[in-house]
Every structure is written in C-alpha cells, then in structure tokens.
Chains A and B, each alone.
Chain A
Amino acid sequence: MAERLLEIENLSIRFATDEGPVTPVHQVSFGLDAGRTLGIVGESGSGKSVTTKAIIRLLPGSATILPGSRIRYRMRGGEMVDVQTLSPTARALRRMRGGEIGMIFQEPMASFSPVYTIGNQMIEMIRLHKPLSRRQARELAVEMLAKVGLSNPGHRVDQYPHELSGGMRQRAMIAMALSVGPSLLIADEPTTALDVTIQAQVLDLMRSLRDELGMAIIFISHDLGVINQIADDVVVMYLGTVVETGPVRQVIRNPQHPYTRGLLQSIPRIDTLDAPLIPVPGDIPSPSERPTGCPFHTRCPIMRAGECDRLAPTVREVSPGHSVSCHLVQAARVVA
C-alpha cells in the first residue's frame, strides 16, 4: 500500500476584492498517494489553480486560507506537516518549494527570467536544494536537459529562454523542476499552449520521467482527453468545489455528477463525427455570485427545486474511491 503524500481537508480560500470577498475554493478535500498521478479538471473559475497554489502557500497577499482548512504534506523525513499553519518564512516551506515539490506552468516564458541563461537559472535552483558545487550543478543541468530530449544540451544550457521554441522551453522547465528530484510535481496546464504533436511529446516525456523517478504528479487541465492519457485518478471541480472524484477510467465510463456527464457530452470526439454535441446550458456564474445550495444547480438539467437550490450536497461514495457530491445521485445510482 502506497503511503499518503498529501491530504487536503475542507480547504476554503477567500480573496478580498474591490467588490467584496469571494471564495474561489470552497471546502475542497482530496488526497494523493506517493507515486500516483492525480488529474484536476475544471473550467475557468473552478478554483483548480488556486487550490494547488495553496499547497505550497504561493497565494497572493489578498488571499486567506479559512479556519477549518487542512493541508497535510508528508516531508521526505516521513513527518506530516500542516502546511496551512507554517510561517511564511518557515524552513520546511522553503524545502518544499522547488525542492520536494516542483512546479511547471502553462506559459514557460513567464516562469523563466529573460535576462539569465537557462543554465544559470537551473544552477541557482539546484544549488539551493542540493549541496553541489557550481560545476557539479552545471553538469546535472546539462544531464537533465539531455534527459528531456533537448538536442545539443551542452549548448542549450548557455542560451537565453527567448532563443528556444515553445516546446523546447516547456521541456527546459520540466528539466529544471525535476533536476532536484521532487516527490511531487504540480503541473498547471503544462501542455495547453502547445501544438498537439508537441503536446504528445511532452506527455510522453512526463510519463517516462514519472516512471523513472517515482514521483507523484498533480496534473491540472481543462482537457479531459489529456487527463485520461496521464492520470490515475481525477478530481472534477466546478466553481471551487469538488463535484466528483475517482479513478479516471471509472469517472469517464460511469460519470455520476450531472456536470461531469454534461462535460463529457460537450467534448467533440474524433472517432465519430455524427454524435450530437450537447452543450451544458447557461453560463458559468461569476465567483462573486456563487449560487446557494449546490453550485451547479443553475445549469443542472435534473435540478430539484427546494433541495438543490437550498442545501449544499454531501459527498457520497458510489463505489470504492469514486465519490460524488450531488443530492440526486442516489436516485440515479445503479446498484451494483
């Protein structure tokens, strides 16, 4: 049995904005075992990025993690730390960021500084977390660049980010994040800005590096197709709440929540051209106008008045590891 690496319980985050407080993340709970890949899927405003930023406490100053939230992370020594209680300058937090937990983002140009070479930035990062000399760190950087498949890594290491193409930059960022051997990699839409042929290369690379290094991955995407390719388990988020979670295959084959079902029907497939595209009706409400009760009730085709618009649904397990947050799921449930 793999050990728990990360446990998020009841996480709520509030932002102070000019138009008053908004809660983009509302009572989110999920967990991740060492070595597993968890996909988080959701549309814009679903809170998927904010949730993962909270794990390494990278939220902006206007954000507060509300009382009652817990984020527990197992440090390499084996102890569980309560991340939300750490002081912003805590040593444990510094060890986590970039060291035990690596991050890659959608836009690699924004994550590299344009005025230093790729190598300089990698060396700085490696030496922050590993007791290596500059020369050793540089060797490791070149080795990692070769591992992610960049041609001529000895030359690339001295290039500036703007000299690389988008796909190469994304791979350089993966090399940097993985150079210190994190136990957890958080990848926030890492392939969204890439063309499909390059996306296939990057997904391939992430899969093989994961198997080689044995790390866990949290993979955020709006594309269920990509999640299906890379993740073991999936968390479906809508307006800051988890509506459904379970093994990827099961959630796609046997979706329980009306939102998950709607999402699957609205995705165009290429294996059949004549299946109708059924949109999810209505628009995503703005985070400042969070509906009462179930957050999806304003767009839900099977909404039951008096219940869904008043009471927040509880989480119910439909089968081991597969749970859903919907009032009506028991009625829709097929008893196995």
Chain B
Amino acid sequence: MSSPLITIRDLEVAFPQPRKGLFGSLPEPVRAVDRVSFDINRGETVGLVGESGSGKTTVGRAILRAIDPTGGRVTYLANGEEVDLVALKGEKLRRFRPRMSLVFQDPYSSLNPRMTVRDIIAEPLVAAGLMRDRQQIDARVREIAARCKLNLEHLRRFPHAFSGGQRQRICIARALVAKPDFVVCDESVSALDVSIQAEIVNLLRDLQREMGVAFLFIAHDLAVVARISHRVAVMYVGRFMEYAPVERLFFHPRHPYTHALLSAIPQTDPDAEFNPIRLEGEIPNPLSVPTGCRFHTRCPFARDRCRSEAPDWREIEADHFVACHFAEEFDFTRSRPKG
C-alpha cells in the first residue's frame, strides 16, 4: 500500500458550448472539472462523493481517458516508470487501456444481451489482444468468475437470466479479467437493493485484498462510500472541497459542505441526533459558477472574503486537504455512539 499509483494535478475538463445564434459569440466553455489534484495509492480505494452535476463522473472518465482532459497532469506510475496519461495517444494509449477499467451503474444496460456471460467477461482480453488461445481465455474467465462468486455453470447463459446483483458481479468480473491496477466504480451499487448492495460492497473489498487493485469509488451515497474507502474526496460544482482519510473526513470534517452533507443523511437509529444543516437554495449551475468560493451561496458561514476570493487547495494537516479560508476555525467533530 501507500505507494502512489496515480497522481492527478490540476486536472481540468472543459466542454465547449454551442455558439449563440449563427453569428453570435462563442461562450466560455463549461468547466465540469476545475483544477482537481489528488493521489490514488496502489491497492487503495478512494471514494468520490458529491451531488448530481458536481463532476465526479467526469473526473473518473478523464483519468481513464474516456474523455480527454483539457488541462492538468495525470501521471501513472507503473513498474518504476512514469506514464503521462494525458499525453498518451494512438497505439500507446490502446495498449495501456487494459491496465485500467470501469464498472458502470446500471447492470442492465451495460451488458450486451446477445453475448453469453463467458464472452462478456472475456471481451477485454480479446479486445486488447492480450490472449488468443481459447483454452487460456477460458481458464482466466473461469478463475475470475469464481472469485466474483459466479456459478460457473452459468457462463454459457445470456445476461437476461440474471438478477441485478448477479449482473453486477458479471460486470465486476469483466472489469477485473485483464488484471488491471485501477478500476473506476461509477455508482456501481446505487441501482441495487440494499440487501444486495452490502454483498457487492463486501465482494469489492475481498477482491481488492486478493488482487491489490485500486478503486476510485464514485457515489452519491456517503454511507456506502464510508464502508469501502480508505480516503474520501468531496466534490462540489467541479472542485474538490475536502480530501482526507475516511475516519478523519467522517468524524472530523473541516469543510462546512462536508459537514452539511453528513448531517443530511437520514439515519436508521431512532435515537441518533438528526439536525440537518439547512443549506439554502439550489446547487449552482456550472454555467455560472459563483465568484470566490463556489460554495458561498449556500454556506451558512460565508463571509465577505468567501464571496470575492477563491480558497486555495491546501493541506491543513498531514494527508487532510481542504479548500476553505476558515477551515482552522471550524470544529465539526461528530460524536460516536457509545459502546
């Protein structure tokens, strides 16, 4: 653990806007991701949370080069060599792809209904030309399917025969078959029922322990993220607000937004304190990002400085990063239940 696998510095993804009218001016591009910096260690799970439209999916896709970043550096450290992922092109990029992979949200639309489970899981090996021998491929597919607790008898079936939880295990097997170092799980348990969700979370944790793969676990559900992540990043309208080890982020958050998010989760314990911080108004449109700190329009602690000056991304204590002018003044320590 703890040796960095991917370092992300000032990552920026901007989407161009359509011209206003035929001769109109070209509007400023929308910055879906705006100067985001963090590291992902080997064999580690980094959780990425944020509300809809915050840009968390775009961060994941930009690292995978499913979308091209418009700025910043993404460096991948593999076997002692540094690879600049943003500069990678053509054949080199294609050969690099099997090292990284993706598990989607919806296990229904992400499996081809006309392929057997075996062919679906084998696809990354075939597509990247990693293996040609049929028996070799079969052996690898069976190995990974067994690890993902799929019934090997089912490999000849088609996806329609499976429930949501089983389908998600097929997706995970497909993502891991080429033994990648890094997998982005984009809302991979959000579509599942809670009684099934726990099983997939436990499976991902076991697979990580066995295979040493690093996950970027993107989700809007903080409670699930808390269970699977070593470190957690909180995103708001294209920027990171806070990034810290999971214990620190959940029990000693420094950013008012993190605090508000945590307080708004309805808990099942009837005796748990539930006083959600009332955030006024709506999440800003990324087309018109507020000046200064982008959270100031909803922040209960906003002052003049927040409205005019954007806070720096700084390390407030070891491994705990925050973007807030007044982070030192806030103590949002949450109490833990006794016993």
Contacts and interface: CB of A to CB of B under 8 A. Distances in A.
A277 B194 CA distance: 11
A229 B201 contact: no
Given A283-B163, A283-B166, A283-B196, A267 B268 contact: yes
Nearest to A44: B193
Contacts of B195: 43, 262-263, 266, 279-280, 284
A249 B222 contact: no
B138 interface: no
A92 to B, nearest CB: 36
Contacts of B201: 268, 277
Q: How large is the interface on A (under 10, 10 to 19, 20 to 34, 35 or more residues)?
A: 35 or more
Given A43-B194, A168-B282, A271-B337, A196 B270 contact: no
Given A168-B282, A263-B194, A270 B222 contact: yes
B32 to A, nearest CB: 17
A278 to B, nearest CB: 7
B14 interface: no
A240 to B, nearest CB: 15
A49 interface: no
Contacts of A283: 163, 165-166, 196
Nearest to B189: A268
Nearest to B49: A196
Contacts of B166: 283
Contacts of A165: 282-283
Interface stretch (B80-88, B139-147, B272-280): B272-280
Contacts of A226: 266
B197 A266 contact: yes
A272 interface: yes
A200 B198 contact: no
Contacts, number: 134
Contact of B268 (A204, A228, A281, A284): A228
B246 A273 contact: yes
Interface in B296-314: 298
B267 A272 contact: no
B329 to A, nearest CB: 22
A43 B193 contact: yes
Given A228-B268, A262-B195, A266-B195, A272 B261 contact: no
B270 A248 contact: yes
A253 interface: yes
A236 B284 CA distance: 37
Interface stretch (A8-16, A127-135, A152-160, A217-225): A217-225
Interface stretch (B18-26, B71-79, B174-182, B223-231): B223-231
A228 B268 CA distance: 6
Contact of A268 (B165, B198, B279): B198
A256 to B, nearest CB: 16
Given A266-B195, A266-B197, A277-B227, A249 B283 contact: no
A158 to B, nearest CB: 19
A166 B220 CA distance: 16
A109 to B, nearest CB: 14
Interface string B61-98: 00000000000000000000000000000000000000
Contacts of A223: 194, 266
Nearest to A270: B223
B264 interface: yes
B226 to A, nearest CB: 5
Contacts of A272: 336-337
Contact of A271 (B52, B246, B269, B278): B269
A304 B11 CA distance: 57
A205 B279 CA distance: 13
A29 B250 CA distance: 41
Contacts of B198: 265-268, 277-280
Interface of B: 51-52, 163-166, 193-199, 201-202, 220, 222-224, 226-227, 246-247, 250, 260-262, 264-270, 272, 274, 276, 278-279, 281-283, 298, 334, 336-337
7 contacts: A197-B51, A197-B264, A197-B298, A198-B283, A225-B266, A277-B201, A286-B163
Q: Which 3 A-B pairs have the closest CB atoms?
A: A280-B195, A225-B266, A279-B199
Given A196-B222, A270-B222, 13 more contacts: A43-B195, A44-B193, A196-B265, A197-B283, A204-B276, A224-B268, A226-B266, A228-B266, A228-B267, A268-B201, A269-B268, A270-B223, A284-B193
